Structure 1
Amino acid sequence: MSVYQEIKVLTIVVIGAVLNAAALNLFLIPAKVLSSGVTGIAQLISALLEPSSFHISTGILLLLMNIPVAWAGWIKVGHRFTLYSLISVVLTTFFMMLIPVRPLTSDILLNAVFGGVLQATGVGLTLKFGASTGGMDIVAMILSRAKDRPIGGYMFALNAVIILSAGFFFGWRRALYTLLQLYVSIRVIDAIHTRYVKLTAWIVTNKAKEVQQAIYAQLSRGITKLPAKGGFTNKDKEVLMIVITRYELYELKHVITETDPEAFTNVVETTAVFGLFRKESRS
Protein backbone atom coordinates (compact mmCIF):
# COMPACT_ATOMS: atom_id res chain seq x y z
CA MET A 1 0.00 0.00 0.00
CA SER A 2 1.04 3.61 -0.55
CA VAL A 3 2.32 5.85 2.21
CA TYR A 4 -0.89 7.88 1.95
CA GLN A 5 -3.02 4.77 2.52
CA GLU A 6 -0.94 3.73 5.52
CA ILE A 7 -1.17 7.22 7.05
CA LYS A 8 -4.95 7.16 6.55
CA VAL A 9 -5.26 3.78 8.27
CA LEU A 10 -3.02 4.90 11.13
CA THR A 11 -5.13 8.06 11.58
CA ILE A 12 -8.30 5.96 11.79
CA VAL A 13 -6.62 3.65 14.32
CA VAL A 14 -5.77 6.66 16.50
CA ILE A 15 -9.35 7.98 16.28
CA GLY A 16 -10.73 4.53 17.11
CA ALA A 17 -8.44 4.26 20.13
CA VAL A 18 -9.58 7.69 21.43
CA LEU A 19 -13.25 6.71 21.06
CA ASN A 20 -12.66 3.35 22.75
CA ALA A 21 -10.80 4.92 25.67
CA ALA A 22 -13.44 7.63 26.10
CA ALA A 23 -16.25 5.07 26.04
CA LEU A 24 -14.57 3.03 28.76
CA ASN A 25 -13.45 5.82 31.11
CA LEU A 26 -16.43 8.15 30.73
CA PHE A 27 -19.29 5.66 30.49
CA LEU A 28 -18.70 1.91 30.94
CA ILE A 29 -16.12 1.66 33.75
CA PRO A 30 -17.80 4.18 36.12
CA ALA A 31 -21.17 2.45 35.61
CA LYS A 32 -19.67 -1.05 35.97
CA VAL A 33 -21.16 -2.00 32.62
CA LEU A 34 -18.89 -4.54 30.94
CA SER A 35 -17.78 -4.50 27.32
CA SER A 36 -17.45 -7.58 25.13
CA GLY A 37 -14.45 -9.81 24.51
CA VAL A 38 -11.04 -9.23 26.03
CA THR A 39 -11.92 -5.66 27.02
CA GLY A 40 -14.81 -6.93 29.15
CA ILE A 41 -12.54 -9.45 30.87
CA ALA A 42 -10.02 -6.68 31.60
CA GLN A 43 -12.80 -4.52 33.06
CA LEU A 44 -14.02 -7.37 35.24
CA ILE A 45 -10.58 -8.25 36.62
CA SER A 46 -9.75 -4.58 37.27
CA ALA A 47 -13.05 -4.02 39.09
CA LEU A 48 -12.54 -7.11 41.26
CA LEU A 49 -9.00 -6.02 42.16
CA GLU A 50 -10.05 -2.45 42.95
CA PRO A 51 -10.60 -2.97 46.72
CA SER A 52 -7.23 -4.67 47.10
CA SER A 53 -3.76 -3.15 47.24
CA PHE A 54 -2.89 -4.96 44.00
CA HIS A 55 -5.14 -2.92 41.74
CA ILE A 56 -4.37 -2.77 38.00
CA SER A 57 -6.20 -0.42 35.66
CA THR A 58 -8.34 -1.74 32.81
CA GLY A 59 -6.02 -0.18 30.24
CA ILE A 60 -2.91 -1.93 31.56
CA LEU A 61 -4.74 -5.26 31.82
CA LEU A 62 -6.03 -4.82 28.29
CA LEU A 63 -2.48 -4.32 27.04
CA LEU A 64 -1.07 -7.28 29.02
CA MET A 65 -3.82 -9.63 27.84
CA ASN A 66 -3.27 -8.65 24.21
CA ILE A 67 0.47 -9.34 24.21
CA PRO A 68 0.21 -13.16 23.87
CA VAL A 69 -2.69 -12.76 21.43
CA ALA A 70 -0.63 -10.35 19.31
CA TRP A 71 2.34 -12.71 19.39
CA ALA A 72 0.19 -15.55 18.07
CA GLY A 73 -1.31 -13.23 15.46
CA TRP A 74 2.13 -12.11 14.31
CA ILE A 75 3.04 -15.74 13.58
CA LYS A 76 -0.29 -17.10 12.32
CA VAL A 77 -2.07 -14.16 10.68
CA GLY A 78 0.37 -11.63 9.29
CA HIS A 79 2.45 -8.66 10.32
CA ARG A 80 0.41 -5.73 9.01
CA PHE A 81 -2.94 -6.65 10.56
CA THR A 82 -1.35 -7.65 13.87
CA LEU A 83 0.85 -4.54 14.00
CA TYR A 84 -2.08 -2.17 13.53
CA SER A 85 -4.11 -4.14 16.08
CA LEU A 86 -1.30 -3.88 18.63
CA ILE A 87 -0.91 -0.15 17.90
CA SER A 88 -4.64 0.24 18.55
CA VAL A 89 -4.38 -1.53 21.91
CA VAL A 90 -1.30 0.47 22.97
CA LEU A 91 -2.98 3.76 22.00
CA THR A 92 -6.19 2.79 23.80
CA THR A 93 -4.17 2.12 26.97
CA PHE A 94 -2.33 5.43 26.52
CA PHE A 95 -5.53 7.45 26.05
CA MET A 96 -7.13 5.70 29.02
CA MET A 97 -4.26 7.04 31.14
CA LEU A 98 -4.96 10.57 29.84
CA ILE A 99 -8.75 10.53 30.09
CA PRO A 100 -9.92 10.52 33.73
CA VAL A 101 -12.39 7.87 34.91
CA ARG A 102 -15.18 10.36 35.48
CA PRO A 103 -18.82 9.62 34.60
CA LEU A 104 -20.65 12.23 32.53
CA THR A 105 -23.95 11.00 33.94
CA SER A 106 -25.12 8.86 36.83
CA ASP A 107 -27.83 7.22 34.70
CA ILE A 108 -26.79 3.60 34.06
CA LEU A 109 -28.99 3.34 30.97
CA LEU A 110 -27.33 6.36 29.35
CA ASN A 111 -23.91 5.02 30.26
CA ALA A 112 -24.69 1.64 28.67
CA VAL A 113 -26.17 3.10 25.49
CA PHE A 114 -23.73 5.93 24.84
CA GLY A 115 -20.76 3.85 25.97
CA GLY A 116 -21.79 1.12 23.56
CA VAL A 117 -22.32 3.58 20.69
CA LEU A 118 -19.01 5.37 21.26
CA GLN A 119 -16.99 2.18 21.62
CA ALA A 120 -18.65 0.48 18.66
CA THR A 121 -18.01 3.54 16.51
CA GLY A 122 -14.30 3.26 17.25
CA VAL A 123 -14.30 -0.49 16.61
CA GLY A 124 -16.37 -0.18 13.43
CA LEU A 125 -14.16 2.54 11.94
CA THR A 126 -11.02 0.57 12.76
CA LEU A 127 -12.42 -2.58 11.12
CA LYS A 128 -13.61 -0.63 8.08
CA PHE A 129 -10.04 0.44 7.32
CA GLY A 130 -8.47 -3.00 7.58
CA ALA A 131 -7.26 -2.98 11.19
CA SER A 132 -8.74 -4.12 14.49
CA THR A 133 -8.82 -3.26 18.17
CA GLY A 134 -7.07 -6.52 19.07
CA GLY A 135 -8.37 -9.23 21.37
CA MET A 136 -10.96 -11.52 19.83
CA ASP A 137 -10.51 -9.98 16.37
CA ILE A 138 -7.00 -11.43 16.22
CA VAL A 139 -8.26 -14.74 17.63
CA ALA A 140 -10.94 -14.80 14.92
CA MET A 141 -8.30 -14.32 12.22
CA ILE A 142 -6.11 -17.06 13.72
CA LEU A 143 -8.98 -19.55 13.80
CA SER A 144 -10.05 -18.60 10.29
CA ARG A 145 -6.54 -18.95 8.86
CA ALA A 146 -5.89 -22.23 10.68
CA LYS A 147 -8.84 -24.51 9.98
CA ASP A 148 -11.70 -22.13 9.27
CA ARG A 149 -13.24 -22.68 12.66
CA PRO A 150 -16.37 -20.60 13.29
CA ILE A 151 -15.79 -17.79 15.77
CA GLY A 152 -19.47 -17.14 16.53
CA GLY A 153 -19.73 -19.89 19.13
CA TYR A 154 -16.60 -18.74 20.95
CA MET A 155 -17.78 -15.12 21.01
CA PHE A 156 -21.21 -16.14 22.27
CA ALA A 157 -19.71 -18.27 25.05
CA LEU A 158 -17.26 -15.55 26.10
CA ASN A 159 -19.91 -12.82 26.15
CA ALA A 160 -22.27 -15.12 28.07
CA VAL A 161 -19.57 -15.55 30.73
CA ILE A 162 -19.07 -11.77 30.85
CA ILE A 163 -22.80 -11.10 31.27
CA LEU A 164 -23.16 -13.76 33.98
CA SER A 165 -20.07 -12.41 35.74
CA ALA A 166 -21.52 -8.91 35.68
CA GLY A 167 -24.69 -10.24 37.29
CA PHE A 168 -22.87 -12.29 39.90
CA PHE A 169 -20.39 -9.63 41.02
CA PHE A 170 -22.25 -6.37 40.34
CA GLY A 171 -25.92 -7.37 40.46
CA TRP A 172 -28.27 -8.67 37.79
CA ARG A 173 -29.37 -5.14 36.93
CA ARG A 174 -25.81 -4.49 35.75
CA ALA A 175 -25.92 -7.74 33.77
CA LEU A 176 -28.99 -6.55 31.88
CA TYR A 177 -27.31 -3.24 31.09
CA THR A 178 -24.22 -5.13 29.93
CA LEU A 179 -26.45 -7.14 27.60
CA LEU A 180 -27.98 -3.88 26.33
CA GLN A 181 -24.51 -2.45 25.70
CA LEU A 182 -23.53 -5.55 23.72
CA TYR A 183 -26.69 -5.28 21.60
CA VAL A 184 -26.11 -1.58 20.90
CA SER A 185 -22.48 -2.28 19.96
CA ILE A 186 -23.47 -5.00 17.48
CA ARG A 187 -26.03 -2.73 15.82
CA VAL A 188 -23.59 0.17 15.48
CA ILE A 189 -20.74 -2.00 14.15
CA ASP A 190 -23.21 -3.53 11.69
CA ALA A 191 -24.17 -0.04 10.48
CA ILE A 192 -20.56 1.17 10.09
CA HIS A 193 -18.88 -2.00 8.84
CA THR A 194 -20.45 -5.43 9.33
CA ARG A 195 -20.98 -7.76 12.24
CA TYR A 196 -20.77 -10.82 9.99
CA VAL A 197 -17.39 -12.53 10.19
CA LYS A 198 -17.73 -14.04 6.70
CA LEU A 199 -18.49 -12.06 3.53
CA THR A 200 -18.81 -13.11 -0.11
CA ALA A 201 -17.51 -10.85 -2.88
CA TRP A 202 -18.71 -11.21 -6.48
CA ILE A 203 -16.25 -9.44 -8.78
CA VAL A 204 -17.24 -8.79 -12.42
CA THR A 205 -14.09 -7.85 -14.32
CA ASN A 206 -12.43 -7.75 -17.73
CA LYS A 207 -9.09 -8.50 -16.07
CA ALA A 208 -9.93 -11.70 -14.24
CA LYS A 209 -6.43 -13.17 -14.45
CA GLU A 210 -4.74 -10.01 -13.13
CA VAL A 211 -7.28 -9.56 -10.33
CA GLN A 212 -7.02 -13.23 -9.37
CA GLN A 213 -3.22 -13.07 -9.17
CA ALA A 214 -3.33 -9.84 -7.15
CA ILE A 215 -5.79 -11.35 -4.67
CA TYR A 216 -3.69 -14.51 -4.31
CA ALA A 217 -0.65 -12.34 -3.57
CA GLN A 218 -2.43 -10.59 -0.69
CA LEU A 219 -5.07 -12.99 0.67
CA SER A 220 -5.04 -16.70 1.52
CA ARG A 221 -8.43 -17.37 -0.02
CA GLY A 222 -9.71 -19.62 -2.79
CA ILE A 223 -11.44 -18.12 -5.82
CA THR A 224 -14.12 -19.58 -8.09
CA LYS A 225 -14.30 -18.26 -11.69
CA LEU A 226 -17.62 -18.09 -13.52
CA PRO A 227 -18.27 -17.12 -17.16
CA ALA A 228 -20.54 -14.09 -17.70
CA LYS A 229 -21.78 -11.78 -20.45
CA GLY A 230 -22.47 -8.07 -20.12
CA GLY A 231 -26.18 -7.34 -20.52
CA PHE A 232 -25.66 -3.95 -22.17
CA THR A 233 -22.39 -4.49 -24.07
CA ASN A 234 -22.96 -8.20 -24.77
CA LYS A 235 -19.22 -8.68 -24.18
CA ASP A 236 -17.79 -11.76 -22.49
CA LYS A 237 -16.63 -11.21 -18.91
CA GLU A 238 -15.66 -13.34 -15.94
CA VAL A 239 -17.00 -13.31 -12.39
CA LEU A 240 -14.71 -14.10 -9.50
CA MET A 241 -16.37 -15.35 -6.32
CA ILE A 242 -14.35 -15.19 -3.11
CA VAL A 243 -15.33 -15.68 0.53
CA ILE A 244 -13.35 -13.55 2.98
CA THR A 245 -13.44 -12.49 6.60
CA ARG A 246 -14.58 -9.00 7.51
CA TYR A 247 -11.02 -8.12 8.50
CA GLU A 248 -9.87 -8.62 4.89
CA LEU A 249 -12.55 -6.47 3.24
CA TYR A 250 -10.47 -3.27 3.19
CA GLU A 251 -7.49 -5.07 1.68
CA LEU A 252 -9.68 -6.74 -0.96
CA LYS A 253 -11.18 -3.37 -1.96
CA HIS A 254 -7.70 -1.90 -2.30
CA VAL A 255 -6.44 -4.82 -4.42
CA ILE A 256 -9.42 -4.64 -6.80
CA THR A 257 -9.21 -0.84 -7.14
CA GLU A 258 -5.49 -0.98 -7.91
CA THR A 259 -5.79 -3.86 -10.42
CA ASP A 260 -9.05 -3.04 -12.21
CA PRO A 261 -10.72 0.26 -11.23
CA GLU A 262 -13.61 -0.53 -13.60
CA ALA A 263 -14.47 -3.84 -11.92
CA PHE A 264 -17.96 -4.22 -10.46
CA THR A 265 -17.94 -5.81 -7.00
CA ASN A 266 -20.93 -6.90 -4.94
CA VAL A 267 -20.21 -7.83 -1.31
CA VAL A 268 -22.91 -9.78 0.51
CA GLU A 269 -23.15 -11.09 4.05
CA THR A 270 -22.44 -14.80 4.51
CA THR A 271 -24.07 -16.52 7.47
CA ALA A 272 -22.34 -19.88 7.05
CA VAL A 273 -19.59 -21.54 5.03
CA PHE A 274 -19.24 -25.31 4.57
CA GLY A 275 -15.79 -26.58 3.66
CA LEU A 276 -12.48 -24.76 3.48
CA PHE A 277 -12.14 -21.47 1.64
CA ARG A 278 -8.39 -20.97 1.84
CA LYS A 279 -6.04 -20.65 -1.14
CA GLU A 280 -5.15 -24.35 -0.92
CA SER A 281 -8.70 -25.31 -1.95
CA ARG A 282 -8.88 -23.43 -5.24
CA SER A 283 -11.70 -24.33 -7.53
Structure 2
Amino acid sequence: MIKPAVKARPPVQHRRLTRAKFLRRAVFVTIGSALVSVGLELFLVPNNIIDGGVVGISIILAYLTKLPIGLFLLLLNLPFLFLGYKQIGKTFALSTLYGVTVMSIGTYYLHPVEVLTTDPLLSAVFGGVIVGIGVGLVIRSGGSLDGTEIVAILFSKKTPFSVGEIVMFFNLFILGSAGFVFTLDRAMYSLIAYFIAFKMIDITIEGFDESKSVWIISDRSKEIGDTILSRLGRGVTYLKGEGGFTGDGKKVIFCVITRLEEAKLKAIVEEKDPAAFLAVGNIHDVKGGRFRKKDIH
Protein backbone atom coordinates (compact mmCIF):
# COMPACT_ATOMS: atom_id res chain seq x y z
CA MET A 1 0.00 0.00 0.00
CA ILE A 2 1.40 3.35 -1.02
CA LYS A 3 1.23 5.94 1.74
CA PRO A 4 0.41 9.47 0.70
CA ALA A 5 3.30 11.85 0.84
CA VAL A 6 3.31 14.00 3.96
CA LYS A 7 4.49 17.53 3.55
CA ALA A 8 7.21 18.48 5.97
CA ARG A 9 6.36 21.32 8.30
CA PRO A 10 8.29 24.47 7.62
CA PRO A 11 10.68 25.46 10.40
CA VAL A 12 9.26 27.85 13.00
CA GLN A 13 10.40 31.36 12.23
CA HIS A 14 11.27 33.29 15.41
CA ARG A 15 10.90 37.02 15.13
CA ARG A 16 14.19 38.74 15.80
CA LEU A 17 14.33 41.72 18.09
CA THR A 18 15.01 45.08 16.49
CA ARG A 19 18.06 46.96 17.69
CA ALA A 20 15.92 49.48 19.58
CA LYS A 21 13.94 46.77 21.37
CA PHE A 22 17.13 44.86 22.15
CA LEU A 23 18.77 47.93 23.68
CA ARG A 24 15.62 48.76 25.63
CA ARG A 25 15.46 45.23 27.03
CA ALA A 26 19.15 45.28 27.94
CA VAL A 27 18.83 48.64 29.71
CA PHE A 28 15.84 47.60 31.82
CA VAL A 29 17.34 44.20 32.68
CA THR A 30 20.53 46.00 33.76
CA ILE A 31 18.64 48.53 35.90
CA GLY A 32 16.44 45.84 37.44
CA SER A 33 19.35 43.54 38.27
CA ALA A 34 21.34 46.43 39.74
CA LEU A 35 18.39 47.40 41.94
CA VAL A 36 18.16 43.85 43.27
CA SER A 37 21.88 44.02 44.13
CA VAL A 38 21.29 47.25 46.06
CA GLY A 39 18.33 45.81 47.93
CA LEU A 40 20.27 42.71 48.89
CA GLU A 41 23.64 44.12 49.91
CA LEU A 42 22.53 47.42 51.46
CA PHE A 43 19.41 46.20 53.26
CA LEU A 44 18.63 42.48 53.46
CA VAL A 45 21.93 40.56 53.63
CA PRO A 46 23.69 42.69 56.30
CA ASN A 47 20.63 42.35 58.56
CA ASN A 48 20.24 38.57 58.05
CA ILE A 49 16.93 38.97 56.24
CA ILE A 50 16.30 36.68 53.29
CA ASP A 51 14.03 36.67 50.25
CA GLY A 52 12.35 33.70 48.64
CA GLY A 53 13.66 31.36 45.94
CA VAL A 54 17.27 31.04 44.86
CA VAL A 55 18.07 34.44 46.39
CA GLY A 56 17.02 33.22 49.83
CA ILE A 57 19.02 30.00 49.51
CA SER A 58 22.05 32.01 48.36
CA ILE A 59 21.83 34.33 51.37
CA ILE A 60 21.72 31.35 53.75
CA LEU A 61 24.63 29.58 52.03
CA ALA A 62 26.71 32.78 51.96
CA TYR A 63 26.12 33.22 55.69
CA LEU A 64 27.08 29.63 56.49
CA THR A 65 30.15 29.42 54.22
CA LYS A 66 31.30 33.08 54.40
CA LEU A 67 31.62 33.04 50.60
CA PRO A 68 30.29 35.87 48.37
CA ILE A 69 26.57 35.70 47.77
CA GLY A 70 27.10 36.49 44.08
CA LEU A 71 28.85 33.16 43.64
CA PHE A 72 25.80 31.22 44.82
CA LEU A 73 23.40 33.43 42.87
CA LEU A 74 25.20 32.52 39.67
CA LEU A 75 25.89 28.83 40.35
CA LEU A 76 22.41 27.95 41.68
CA ASN A 77 20.69 29.62 38.74
CA LEU A 78 22.73 27.88 36.04
CA PRO A 79 20.71 24.61 36.06
CA PHE A 80 17.49 26.60 35.84
CA LEU A 81 18.87 28.57 32.90
CA PHE A 82 19.23 25.32 30.97
CA LEU A 83 15.66 24.35 31.85
CA GLY A 84 14.47 27.81 30.85
CA TYR A 85 16.20 27.50 27.51
CA LYS A 86 14.52 24.16 26.83
CA GLN A 87 11.05 25.14 28.10
CA ILE A 88 10.68 28.83 27.28
CA GLY A 89 13.27 29.81 24.71
CA LYS A 90 16.66 31.25 23.87
CA THR A 91 15.77 34.90 24.38
CA PHE A 92 14.43 34.25 27.87
CA ALA A 93 17.50 32.21 28.82
CA LEU A 94 19.95 34.84 27.56
CA SER A 95 18.07 37.66 29.27
CA THR A 96 18.04 35.67 32.50
CA LEU A 97 21.74 34.82 32.24
CA TYR A 98 22.61 38.47 31.66
CA GLY A 99 20.42 39.62 34.54
CA VAL A 100 21.81 37.05 36.99
CA THR A 101 25.37 37.97 35.96
CA VAL A 102 24.75 41.69 36.52
CA MET A 103 23.09 40.93 39.87
CA SER A 104 26.00 38.73 40.98
CA ILE A 105 28.63 41.29 39.97
CA GLY A 106 26.63 44.05 41.63
CA THR A 107 26.50 42.22 44.97
CA TYR A 108 30.27 41.67 44.79
CA TYR A 109 31.07 45.36 44.36
CA LEU A 110 28.43 46.54 46.83
CA HIS A 111 29.47 44.14 49.59
CA PRO A 112 32.14 46.46 51.09
CA VAL A 113 29.75 49.46 51.03
CA GLU A 114 28.43 50.55 54.42
CA VAL A 115 24.84 49.55 55.06
CA LEU A 116 22.20 52.29 55.06
CA THR A 117 20.34 51.07 58.16
CA THR A 118 20.63 48.41 60.83
CA ASP A 119 16.97 48.61 61.79
CA PRO A 120 15.49 45.23 60.75
CA LEU A 121 12.01 46.60 60.01
CA LEU A 122 13.33 49.41 57.81
CA SER A 123 15.64 46.94 56.10
CA ALA A 124 12.78 44.53 55.42
CA VAL A 125 10.51 47.26 54.05
CA PHE A 126 12.97 49.15 51.87
CA GLY A 127 14.86 46.02 50.87
CA GLY A 128 11.60 44.38 49.82
CA VAL A 129 10.52 47.45 47.84
CA ILE A 130 13.82 47.78 45.97
CA VAL A 131 14.15 44.04 45.27
CA GLY A 132 10.53 43.86 44.10
CA ILE A 133 10.92 46.77 41.68
CA GLY A 134 14.13 45.30 40.31
CA VAL A 135 12.69 41.82 39.79
CA GLY A 136 9.56 43.34 38.23
CA LEU A 137 11.63 45.30 35.70
CA VAL A 138 13.53 42.16 34.69
CA ILE A 139 10.34 40.09 34.33
CA ARG A 140 8.66 42.88 32.36
CA SER A 141 11.67 42.86 30.02
CA GLY A 142 11.38 39.13 29.32
CA GLY A 143 13.85 37.67 31.81
CA SER A 144 14.01 36.30 35.32
CA LEU A 145 16.34 36.38 38.32
CA ASP A 146 15.10 33.25 40.06
CA GLY A 147 14.84 29.71 38.75
CA THR A 148 12.20 28.40 41.14
CA GLU A 149 9.42 29.58 38.82
CA ILE A 150 10.81 27.39 36.04
CA VAL A 151 10.89 24.38 38.37
CA ALA A 152 7.33 25.16 39.45
CA ILE A 153 6.18 25.16 35.82
CA LEU A 154 7.70 21.70 35.30
CA PHE A 155 6.23 20.31 38.54
CA SER A 156 2.79 21.75 37.80
CA LYS A 157 2.59 19.63 34.64
CA LYS A 158 3.03 16.42 36.64
CA THR A 159 1.18 17.32 39.85
CA PRO A 160 -2.30 18.65 40.67
CA PHE A 161 -0.80 21.83 42.14
CA SER A 162 -0.64 25.17 40.34
CA VAL A 163 2.55 27.11 39.66
CA GLY A 164 1.67 29.65 42.35
CA GLU A 165 1.05 26.94 44.96
CA ILE A 166 4.38 25.24 44.22
CA VAL A 167 6.30 28.53 44.38
CA MET A 168 4.58 29.37 47.67
CA PHE A 169 5.54 25.97 49.12
CA PHE A 170 9.18 26.43 48.10
CA ASN A 171 9.34 29.92 49.54
CA LEU A 172 7.63 29.01 52.81
CA PHE A 173 10.20 26.25 53.28
CA ILE A 174 13.07 28.64 52.47
CA LEU A 175 11.74 31.46 54.65
CA GLY A 176 11.12 29.01 57.49
CA SER A 177 14.74 27.92 57.26
CA ALA A 178 15.78 31.44 58.23
CA GLY A 179 14.39 30.76 61.70
CA PHE A 180 16.89 27.92 62.17
CA VAL A 181 19.90 29.56 60.50
CA PHE A 182 19.38 33.03 62.00
CA THR A 183 16.67 33.68 64.59
CA LEU A 184 12.89 33.43 64.66
CA ASP A 185 12.44 37.20 64.50
CA ARG A 186 14.63 37.35 61.37
CA ALA A 187 12.36 34.78 59.76
CA MET A 188 9.41 37.06 60.53
CA TYR A 189 11.18 40.06 59.03
CA SER A 190 12.04 37.90 56.01
CA LEU A 191 8.34 37.14 55.56
CA ILE A 192 7.60 40.89 55.61
CA ALA A 193 10.31 41.55 53.02
CA TYR A 194 9.05 38.73 50.80
CA PHE A 195 5.44 39.95 50.93
CA ILE A 196 6.44 43.53 50.08
CA ALA A 197 8.69 42.37 47.25
CA PHE A 198 5.87 40.17 45.89
CA LYS A 199 3.44 43.11 45.81
CA MET A 200 6.02 45.44 44.26
CA ILE A 201 6.67 42.93 41.48
CA ASP A 202 2.95 43.00 40.61
CA ILE A 203 2.84 46.81 40.68
CA THR A 204 5.97 47.10 38.52
CA ILE A 205 4.70 44.62 35.93
CA GLU A 206 1.09 45.80 35.76
CA GLY A 207 1.52 49.48 36.65
CA PHE A 208 -0.63 51.66 38.87
CA ASP A 209 -3.08 52.70 36.17
CA GLU A 210 -4.35 49.29 35.10
CA SER A 211 -7.19 48.97 32.63
CA LYS A 212 -10.60 47.43 33.24
CA SER A 213 -12.75 45.26 30.99
CA VAL A 214 -16.49 45.86 31.32
CA TRP A 215 -19.39 43.60 30.34
CA ILE A 216 -22.92 44.97 30.54
CA ILE A 217 -26.15 43.06 29.82
CA SER A 218 -29.26 45.23 29.72
CA ASP A 219 -32.54 45.69 27.88
CA ARG A 220 -31.46 49.31 27.40
CA SER A 221 -28.01 48.49 26.07
CA LYS A 222 -28.16 50.95 23.15
CA GLU A 223 -28.96 53.84 25.48
CA ILE A 224 -26.19 52.83 27.89
CA GLY A 225 -23.69 52.43 25.03
CA ASP A 226 -24.52 55.85 23.59
CA THR A 227 -24.07 57.44 27.03
CA ILE A 228 -20.69 55.77 27.52
CA LEU A 229 -19.63 57.13 24.13
CA SER A 230 -20.80 60.67 24.88
CA ARG A 231 -19.74 61.01 28.53
CA LEU A 232 -16.61 58.87 28.72
CA GLY A 233 -15.53 59.04 25.10
CA ARG A 234 -14.95 55.29 25.10
CA GLY A 235 -15.81 53.04 22.20
CA VAL A 236 -18.17 50.15 22.88
CA THR A 237 -18.74 46.86 21.10
CA TYR A 238 -22.16 45.20 20.94
CA LEU A 239 -22.17 41.41 21.12
CA LYS A 240 -25.10 39.08 20.55
CA GLY A 241 -26.03 36.88 23.50
CA GLU A 242 -28.80 34.52 24.54
CA GLY A 243 -30.35 34.08 27.97
CA GLY A 244 -29.63 30.65 29.42
CA PHE A 245 -33.03 30.31 31.15
CA THR A 246 -35.36 32.21 28.84
CA GLY A 247 -33.57 31.77 25.52
CA ASP A 248 -34.27 35.44 24.75
CA GLY A 249 -31.81 37.35 22.63
CA LYS A 250 -29.61 39.75 24.58
CA LYS A 251 -27.32 42.53 23.45
CA VAL A 252 -24.07 42.59 25.45
CA ILE A 253 -21.92 45.72 25.75
CA PHE A 254 -18.15 45.28 25.96
CA CYS A 255 -15.71 48.13 26.53
CA VAL A 256 -12.34 48.88 28.10
CA ILE A 257 -11.84 51.75 30.53
CA THR A 258 -9.20 52.97 32.96
CA ARG A 259 -9.38 52.46 36.71
CA LEU A 260 -10.27 56.14 37.19
CA GLU A 261 -13.30 55.82 34.90
CA GLU A 262 -14.81 52.84 36.71
CA ALA A 263 -16.91 54.84 39.19
CA LYS A 264 -18.31 57.09 36.47
CA LEU A 265 -19.26 54.12 34.28
CA LYS A 266 -21.04 52.41 37.17
CA ALA A 267 -22.99 55.62 37.78
CA ILE A 268 -24.05 55.67 34.12
CA VAL A 269 -25.30 52.08 34.25
CA GLU A 270 -27.11 52.70 37.53
CA GLU A 271 -28.76 55.80 36.08
CA LYS A 272 -29.94 54.18 32.83
CA ASP A 273 -30.83 50.69 34.06
CA PRO A 274 -30.51 49.80 37.78
CA ALA A 275 -31.37 46.17 36.95
CA ALA A 276 -28.54 45.78 34.41
CA PHE A 277 -25.93 43.05 34.83
CA LEU A 278 -22.45 44.57 35.18
CA ALA A 279 -19.13 42.72 35.38
CA VAL A 280 -15.75 44.47 35.72
CA GLY A 281 -12.36 42.76 35.48
CA ASN A 282 -8.71 43.76 35.50
CA ILE A 283 -6.66 43.82 32.30
CA HIS A 284 -2.87 43.77 32.47
CA ASP A 285 -2.25 45.02 28.95
CA VAL A 286 -4.22 46.69 26.16
CA LYS A 287 -3.01 47.13 22.60
CA GLY A 288 -4.59 48.11 19.33
CA GLY A 289 -7.88 49.75 18.54
CA ARG A 290 -8.57 53.30 19.62
CA PHE A 291 -8.01 52.74 23.31
CA ARG A 292 -5.60 55.03 25.08
CA LYS A 293 -5.31 56.08 28.69
CA LYS A 294 -6.25 59.66 29.36
CA ASP A 295 -7.04 62.03 32.19
CA ILE A 296 -10.55 62.45 33.50
CA HIS A 297 -11.93 65.95 33.18
Asked if the contact 2:77/2:146 (under 8 Å) is kept, the reply is yes
**Counterparts of 1:148 and 1:73, CA distance in 2:** 21
Shift, 1:25, TM fit: 0.8
Shift, 1:147, TM fit: 8.5
Moved more, 157-166 or 175-184: 157-166
1:230-283 CA distance string (max 9 Å, x none): x568988899xxxxxxxxx99xx6xx85xxx32769xxxxxxxxxxxxxxxxxx
1:97 maps to amino acid: Y
Aligned counterpart in structure 2 of residue 3 of structure 1, from 16, 19, 23: 19
> CA 1:187–1:81 in structure 2 vs 1: closer, same or farther (change >3 Å)?
same
Matches within 5 A, 1:6-25: 6-25=22-41
Asked if the contact 2:37/2:107 (under 8 Å) is kept, the reply is yes
> CA 1:18–1:236 in structure 2 vs 1: closer, same or farther (change >3 Å)?
same
Asked if the contact 2:56/2:175 (under 8 Å) is kept, the reply is no
Corresponding residue of 2:251: none
Corresponding residue of 1:262: 289
> CA 1:165–1:115 in structure 2 vs 1: closer, same or farther (change >3 Å)?
same
Q: Secondary structure at the match of 1:193?
A: helix
2:145 maps to amino acid: T
Shift, 1:88, TM fit: 0.5
Aligned counterpart in structure 2 of residue 64 of structure 1, from 75, 98, 116: 75
Matches within 5 A, 1:1-283: 1-50=17-66, 56-101=67-112, 102-142=114-154, 150-193=162-205, 261-262=288-289
**Counterparts of 2:177 and 2:236, CA distance in 1:** 61
Asked if the contact 1:76/1:145 (under 8 Å) is kept, the reply is no
Asked if the contact 1:77/1:141 (under 8 Å) is kept, the reply is no
**Counterparts of 1:126 and 1:27, CA distance in 2:** 20
Length, aligned pairs only: 215
Asked if the contact 1:23/1:118 (under 8 Å) is kept, the reply is yes
**Counterparts of 1:74 and 1:36, CA distance in 2:** 22
Asked if the contact 1:116/1:182 (under 8 Å) is kept, the reply is yes
* Percent sequence identity over aligned pairs: 31
State the TM-score, normalizing by the size of structure 2: 0.63
Asked if the contact 1:82/1:138 (under 8 Å) is kept, the reply is no
**Counterparts of 1:9 and 1:63, CA distance in 2:** 20
Shift, 1:153, TM fit: 1.9
Higher CA-based Rg: 2
Shift, 1:144, TM fit: 6.7
**Counterparts of 1:124 and 1:141, CA distance in 2:** 19
1:177 maps to amino acid: Y
> CA 1:75–1:23 in structure 2 vs 1: closer, same or farther (change >3 Å)?
same
1:20 maps to amino acid: V
1:115-139 CA distance string (max 9 Å, x none): 1111001011122232222322333
Q: Secondary structure at the match of 2:143?
A: coil
State the TM-score, normalizing by the size of structure 1: 0.66
Structure 2, unpaired ranges of 5+: 1-16, 214-221, 227-234, 241-253, 255-282, 293-297
> CA 1:13–1:237 in structure 2 vs 1: closer, same or farther (change >3 Å)?
farther
For the aligned residues, what is the CA RMSD?
A: 3.3
